[in-house]
A and B are shown apart, each in its own frame.
Chain A
Amino acid sequence: MYLCRMKIAKRNWLFRLGIVVIAALLMELISFIQYSQTRKIMEEEMNIRSRVVLGAMADRIDHVMELTEATMRENLLYLRRSLDQPDSASRALVYLIDDNPHVVGGSLAFIPAYYPSKGRLFEPYATKENGRIVLRQIAGDKHDYTRTDFYIDALSSGKADWSDPYSYTDGQTRNLISYSCPVTDASGRIVAVCSLDMDLSWMGDTLNASQRFPSSFGLLLTKDFRLVAGPSPDKISPALVEQALGLLRSGMEKSADGDVFLRTLSLRRDAYWQIAQVYKSDEVYAHIRQIRSRQVILLLLGLAVLFFMIDRFARSERKLRSASEEQARISGELAVARDIQRKMLPTDFPEGVFGRLEPALEVGGDIYDFYIRDGKLFFCIGDVSGKGVPAAMVMAVTHSLFRMVSRKEESPSHILAALNGQLCNSRESNMFVTCFVGCLDLYTGKLRFANAGHDKPFVLSAGVSLLPAKANLPLGVFPQTAFVEQALELSPGDTLFLYTDGLTEAKNLSRKALGRDRVQACLAAGLSSGANSAPQLVQAMAQTVRAFVGEAPQSDDMALLAIRYLPGDLLREHIVLTNQKSEVSRLSDFVKAFFERLSLDRKQASGLRLALEETVVNVINYAYPAGEAGDVAVYADSNHREVRFTVVDSGFPFDPTAVLSADTTLDAKNRPIGGLGIYLTRKLVDSVSYCRKNNQNVLTLTKSIS
């Protein structure tokens, strides 16, 4: 069992873990897809941004280069006019250089021997040094400019053009490019080439002035990917720059590991130049990486919560299930209890009797009961304080005590006293019982009753009134309670209506009780309309309650019992005999006449006569002391369904029903001569009962007849 539970617990645990893992995988998948999508969107965004950035950079470089070209154009005329003297030409050069802040230096390379005074080669060169312009003549044997590309190209093409980038060392090494323009004299002959040098470092600075990410940078390149300008080495490691150049040269936009990627743009004005913007992925996507890692943490936290919740849910569900199983078991048992309780009460109603029990819960503490013995209807109605199972148990005890006690006792007050004694002995949980007990002689209409704190019943005769029953204490309160017994003669057709306080105290939704007046009104209506049979009265009352309470839940148990005295066609005779055997002849004549009036057949008549004779003879023989005269009264009653003989004497208390039966199996020798009388009586009737009442022995014989 324990092992089995362990297994189940393990299985449950694995099942829960499985759910969590699947949930984790699903969420991770969603998160991954989201990340990829976001990254894709960001890449597109980066492309756009790169184009914008590159475009802006290109515009700036173009602009600076155009400015240099414009400077050249604007000063060319002035330069041409200053050609007549070497000094004026040099001044024009200085002026030209001073005119453009991006130009760091410039030269005028004259065709050989243009100024005879200056020799074959003459090239004044002006540079900006510490804010001043220094002019030098740099041509000489070491520097024959007529063999340099810019000079040869300018002379041969006759057009201005930019040079490739180059390094020039003059104290310090600089990366430069030059814009060279042929200068013509008045006759249109090219007489010199004017070059303006631009330091390329400003381009790199411009490109890298406002980079968004710490490791991203811009590059200016020639068309064949030679680096013209880049970031300063203290900002970006030369290795990274080299890696970017490597990628550019191999025509890739992204490194194999995806760590570095770049975008390029050719300058609009001159396809010779291109610029590149280089990024490191980890920086660009750092933000969404951070989002994703946070997402993963949140996801893990969420899963932990989910696991916890599933666990709690499973626990509470298990608890709930076991609670509901318990509930089902209890309600199943309660249904059985309800069934048992219903079956305890008589549901086979003789004419004139009808009862109804409505517990507020499955079982209740209300009780009604009745049965007929010796032509008398014994009945009771009771209400155990409280409701539910405890009340039902006390009710069951009360019910069986009533049955047990009333078998031997026909006085309602004695019955109540006996019940009270028992209930006081076994009283638990301070429960008490209100109870009304009655005994109605069906032949005489004489009702004897006693009340133990129960609601007074109604009597329906000419009108409806309360039975003036003295209240007394309820059962189970005080062991020595004396219950007053009262009597009332019912006329044929009179009805006794008994109920428990569940009726009068039935409450509607506005907490108003039905009350005794409404009960009385309902009974009066039944009486006046003629719908006053026992079942009709009970059903009408049940309907009245239902209509009154409406939707309100039943708050208390309710029992209803109606008893209508319907004696039918009665035959009643009696005779008083003296205690002499000769009187048996008179008894014989009396019963024969009685049976004749009942048209009883010979066999039934003989049996009943024998039973009665044996009983009476017993009284004649033994009730009174020898020689003392005494009376024996015999009452014969019948309603054509049953015959009842009541034999009353005032002799010694003697209960013949307590005498042992004769042994009818003995042989003649061992048979006692007497002892057969009581045996025969018992055999010949349905019931024999004895009671001592008013100092008299009362023996009742009943037998149903056909």
Chain B
Amino acid sequence: MTTRIEEIDGKLVATLIGELDTAAAPETEKALQPLLDSKGKDIVIDCTELEYIASSGLRLLLGILKQAQEVGSRVVLKNVNDVVKDVLDLTGFVALFDIE
């Protein structure tokens, strides 16, 4: 699991590459720490190369969303593949995030 964070056009863009399973969650959580201090910037999570997500991964995303909503930022999930989309659908997360 590889995680990368960049700032592009005033938005924080996090790119998730690989499988976000329970084993990968703690290290990913650490890597995504900067997103918890977004200072009002919108957050884009690029899921183009995210192949798998477990509930521990969903928990990370929910934590980021809660933090962002408190400071009025948007969280956009970008390029979600069908496998991950199914999980978002099942859990009702599609209604929480902006999905592009």
Q: Which residues does A use to contact B, with CB under 8 Å?
A: 581-585, 588, 602-603, 606-607, 609-610, 613-614, 617, 662, 664-669, 671, 673-674, 676-677, 679-680, 683-684
Question: How many Å from the CB of A540 to the closest CB on chain B?
Answer: 50
Question: How many Å from the CB of B92 to the closest CB on chain A?
Answer: 3
In the assembled complex, which residues on chain A have CB atoms less than 8 Å from the CB atom of B54?
Answer: 610, 613-614, 617
Contact B96 A667 (CB under 8 A): yes
B72 at the interface (CB under 8 A from A): no
Contact B90 A680 (CB under 8 A): yes
A617 with B96: in contact, given A603-B82, A668-B65, A680-B90 (CB under 8 Å)?
no
Which chain B residue shows the least CB distance to A678? B55
In the assembled complex, which residues on chain B have CB atoms less than 8 Å from the CB atom of A666?
Answer: 92
B4 at the interface (CB under 8 A from A): no
Question: How many Å from the CB of A594 to the closest CB on chain B?
Answer: 16
Question: How many Å from the CB of B68 to the closest CB on chain A?
Answer: 9
A613 with B22: in contact, given A607-B86, A668-B96 (CB under 8 Å)?
yes
Contact B87 A610 (CB under 8 A): yes
In the assembled complex, which residues on chain B have CB atoms less than 8 Å from the CB atom of A583?
Answer: 23
A588 with B23: in contact, given A614-B55, A665-B92, A676-B91 (CB under 8 Å)?
yes
State in angstroms the CA–CA spacing of A585 and B52 once bound together.
Answer: 13
In the assembled complex, which residues on chain A have CB atoms less than 8 Å from the CB atom of B91?
Answer: 662, 664, 676, 679-680
* 8 A Cβ contacts from B34-78 to A: 52, 54-56, 58-59, 62-63, 65-66, 69
A617 with B56: in contact, given A584-B21, A610-B87, A668-B65 (CB under 8 Å)?
yes
Indicate with 1 or 0, residue by residue over B13-40, a CB within 8 angstroms of chain A CB atoms.
Answer: 0000001011111100000000000000
A664 with B62: in contact, given A617-B22, A677-B55 (CB under 8 Å)?
no
In the assembled complex, which residues on chain A have CB atoms less than 8 Å from the CB atom of B92?
Answer: 664-666
Question: How many Å from the CB of B56 to the closest CB on chain A?
Answer: 7
In the assembled complex, which residues on chain B have CB atoms less than 8 Å from the CB atom of A669?
Answer: 66, 69
22 A-B contact pairs sorted by A residue (CB < 8 Å): A581-B23, A588-B21, A603-B86, A606-B52, A606-B86, A607-B86, A610-B87, A613-B22, A617-B22, A617-B55, A617-B56, A664-B90, A665-B95, A666-B92, A668-B65, A668-B96, A669-B66, A673-B63, A676-B59, A679-B91, A683-B90, A684-B90
Question: How many Å from the CB of A442 to the closest CB on chain B?
Answer: 29
Which chain B residue shows the least CB distance to A663? B92
Question: How many Å from the CB of B27 to the closest CB on chain A?
Answer: 10
Question: How many Å from the CB of B1 to the closest CB on chain A?
Answer: 10
Question: How many Å from the CB of A661 to the closest CB on chain B?
Answer: 11
Which chain B residue shows the least CB distance to A671? B62
Question: How many Å from the CB of B16 to the closest CB on chain A?
Answer: 15
State in angstroms the CA–CA spacing of A674 and B22 once bound together.
Answer: 13
State in angstroms the CA–CA spacing of A676 and B62 once bound together.
Answer: 12
Which chain A residue shows the least CB distance to B97? A668
Which chain B residue shows the least CB distance to A684? B90
Contact B55 A680 (CB under 8 A): yes
Interface centre among A603, A606, A667, A679 (most CB of B within 10 A): A606
A676 with B23: in contact, given A602-B83, A671-B62, A683-B90 (CB under 8 Å)?
no
In the assembled complex, which residues on chain A have CB atoms less than 8 Å from the CB atom of B58?
Answer: 676
Contact B62 A606 (CB under 8 A): no
Question: How many Å from the CB of A197 to the closest CB on chain B?
Answer: 157
Which chain B residue shows the least CB distance to A603? B83
In the assembled complex, which residues on chain A have CB atoms less than 8 Å from the CB atom of B59?
Answer: 673-674, 676
Picked from A609, A667, A673, the residue with its CB within 8 Å of the CB of B52 is A609
Question: How many Å from the CB of A128 to the closest CB on chain B?
Answer: 159
Contact B62 A668 (CB under 8 A): yes
State in angstroms the CA–CA spacing of A48 and B59 once bound together.
Answer: 138
Question: How many Å from the CB of B47 to the closest CB on chain A?
Answer: 14
State in angstroms the CA–CA spacing of A669 and B92 once bound together.
Answer: 14
Those 3 A-B pairs whose CB atoms lie nearest each other, nearest first: A664-B92, A584-B23, A676-B55
State in angstroms the CA–CA spacing of A676 and B23 once bound together.
Answer: 17
Which chain B residue shows the least CB distance to A605? B83
Which chain A residue shows the least CB distance to B82? A603
Q: A613-B22, A614-B55 provided; 7 other pairs, C-beta below 8 A?
A: A581-B23, A603-B83, A610-B87, A613-B54, A671-B96, A680-B90, A683-B90
Question: How many Å from the CB of A497 to the closest CB on chain B?
Answer: 45
Interface centre among A582, A662, A676 (most CB of B within 10 A): A676
In the assembled complex, which residues on chain B have CB atoms less than 8 Å from the CB atom of A665?
Answer: 92, 95
State in angstroms the CA–CA spacing of A209 and B52 once bound together.
Answer: 147
State in angstroms the CA–CA spacing of A665 and B94 once bound together.
Answer: 10
A582 with B23: in contact, given A606-B52, A617-B56, A673-B62 (CB under 8 Å)?
yes
Contact A613 B62 (CB under 8 A): no
In the assembled complex, which residues on chain A have CB atoms less than 8 Å from the CB atom of B82?
Answer: 603
Question: How many Å from the CB of A419 to the closest CB on chain B?
Answer: 38
In the assembled complex, which residues on chain A have CB atoms less than 8 Å from the CB atom of B87?
Answer: 610, 680
Question: How many Å from the CB of B91 to the closest CB on chain A?
Answer: 6
State in angstroms the CA–CA spacing of A607 and B59 once bound together.
Answer: 18
State in angstroms the CA–CA spacing of A602 and B51 once bound together.
Answer: 10
State in angstroms the CA–CA spacing of A606 and B19 once bound together.
Answer: 10
State in angstroms the CA–CA spacing of A667 and B19 once bound together.
Answer: 26
State in angstroms the CA–CA spacing of A662 and B91 once bound together.
Answer: 9
State in angstroms the CA–CA spacing of A665 and B58 once bound together.
Answer: 15
Question: How many Å from the CB of A659 to the closest CB on chain B?
Answer: 14
State in angstroms the CA–CA spacing of A613 and B92 once bound together.
Answer: 20
State in angstroms the CA–CA spacing of A671 and B55 once bound together.
Answer: 13
Picked from B55, B66, B86, the residue with its CB within 8 Å of the CB of A668 is B66
Which chain A residue shows the least CB distance to B75? A668
In the assembled complex, which residues on chain B have CB atoms less than 8 Å from the CB atom of A683?
Answer: 90
Contact A610 B52 (CB under 8 A): yes
Which chain A residue shows the least CB distance to B58? A676
In the assembled complex, which residues on chain B have CB atoms less than 8 Å from the CB atom of A680?
Answer: 55, 87, 90-91
In the assembled complex, which residues on chain A have CB atoms less than 8 Å from the CB atom of B95?
Answer: 665, 667
Question: How many Å from the CB of A618 to the closest CB on chain B?
Answer: 10
